Amino acid sequence: MRLRVKVVREAWADPDVALPTYATAGAAGADLRANFAEAERDAGLVMAPMERRIIPTGLRVEIPEGFEMQIRPRSGLALKHGLSLPNTPGTIDSDYRGPLGVLLINLGSEPAHIAHGARIAQAIVAPVVQAEFALDDALSDTGRGAGGFGSTGAG
């Protein structure tokens, strides 16, 4: 299935930084890249352990109604550098038109460098179903019942 997401670059953004792209034909997520203001491009930025930062992509998107864009961590960055998203997955709603930033956290024990143009996260476009929440007197019974965290067994 193909879906068109409109993309606009910020006036300050580097046009040489690629738009979101899929690395392979079977990839579910499109890579998002860091796009820093001109004064920060050469140095990029360094994130201290446990530091959180919003990394700019230089983009704004228009997601079709009935869809969302989920922002997820890249597994290689998580494994090699401890970089993740503290609100994973982050959700970009179809009616949001502001700057697309990626909230990163450095969970590693060493500072992590984010270079201009580096792949920092992946975007998944997914359908959204809006539910109707209705107050009722009771819920139906199930085998699990009210069993919560860890109630279905070890492992």
Mean pLDDT, 10 residues at a time, over the chain (155 residues)? 94 98 95 97 97 98 98 94 94 97 97 97 97 95 81 66
pLDDT of residue 95: 97
- Dist CA 84 CA 34 (whole Å): 14
pTM, two decimal places: 0.89
Q: Give every strand in the sheet of 100-106, ordered side by side.
A: 6-9, 52-62, 100-106, 83-84
pLDDT of residue 121: 97
> Where does 6-127 sit in CATH, by number?
2.70.40.10
pLDDT of residue 154: 61
pLDDT of residue 155: 59
**H or E element at residue 79:** helix 75-81
pLDDT of residue 2: 86
Question: 59, 10 in Cβ contact below 8 A?
Answer: yes
